[in-house]
């Protein structure tokens, strides 16, 4: 399998928040936002790996501000670390009124996907190597989160 193009490490989905996405408080439902996050993360992981992928972890999800119906929503997923079969992806959600222009941060999180072969076994993924200082910082953050997650699982006996 040829190495993926470096531009395949990031994907952005854009769409309008629809009335069917509303919760009882009149804002976009958190579950709808989480579905968009999973879709963008999946598209990013599949583009990088060339395999079907499964979500194995979503953490640090932070809802910063509500999204309103009719807002333009932008969900950006970016690969920040690869393991043998896993990919760590950060996802940022931004939204705003398209009549006013400009988008504000609304939600962010980290996801881990595992590539899966046609037989259902974990599949090897191409290694991503950070180039810029920002890339190095993003990978270091992903590694620190993984370390903290493992320590927490060990402490809880998971």
Check residue 45 and give its pLDDT. 97
- The stretches in the chain having pLDDT less than 50 are none
Tens of pLDDT, residues 90-108: 999 999 999 998 999 999 9
Burial zone of 12 (CB within 10 Å; 0-12 exposed, 13-18 middle, 19+ buried):
middle
Domain boundaries, given as residue ranges, for the chain: 6-128
**Reduced to 3 states, what is the DSSP secondary structure of residue 75?**
strand
Check residue 60 and give its pLDDT. 87
CA 123 – CA 117 distance, rounded (Å): 5
Contact 27, 67 (CB under 8 A): yes
Check residue 134 and give its pLDDT. 93
Check residue 8 and give its pLDDT. 83
Check residue 158 and give its pLDDT. 58
CATH architecture of the domain 6-128 equals Roll (3.10)
b/e map 26-57, b = 16+ CB within 10 Å = ebbbeebbbebbbebbbbbbbbbbebbbeeeb
Check residue 37 and give its pLDDT. 97
Check residue 26 and give its pLDDT. 86
């Amino acid at each position: 399998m040829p190495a993926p193009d470096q531009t395949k490490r990031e994907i952005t989905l854009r769409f309008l928040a629809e009335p069917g996405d509303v919760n009882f408080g009149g804002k976009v439902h958190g579950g709808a936002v989480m579905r968009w996050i999973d879709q963008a993360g999946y598209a990013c992981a599949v583009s990088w790996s060339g395999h079907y992928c499964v979500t194995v972890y979503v953490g640090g999800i932070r809802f910063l501000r509500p999204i309103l119906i009719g807002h333009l929503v932008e969900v950006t997923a970016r690969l920040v670390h690869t393991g043998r079969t896993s990919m760590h992806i950060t996802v940022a959600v931004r939204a705003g009124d398209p009549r006013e222009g400009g988008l504000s941060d609304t939600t962010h999180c980290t996801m881990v996907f595992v590539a899966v072969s046609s037989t259902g076994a974990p599949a090897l993924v191409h290694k991503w190597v950070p180039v810029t200082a920002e890339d190095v910082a993003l990978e270091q953050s992903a590694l620190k989160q993984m370390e903290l997650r493992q320590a927490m699982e060990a402490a809880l006996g998971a």
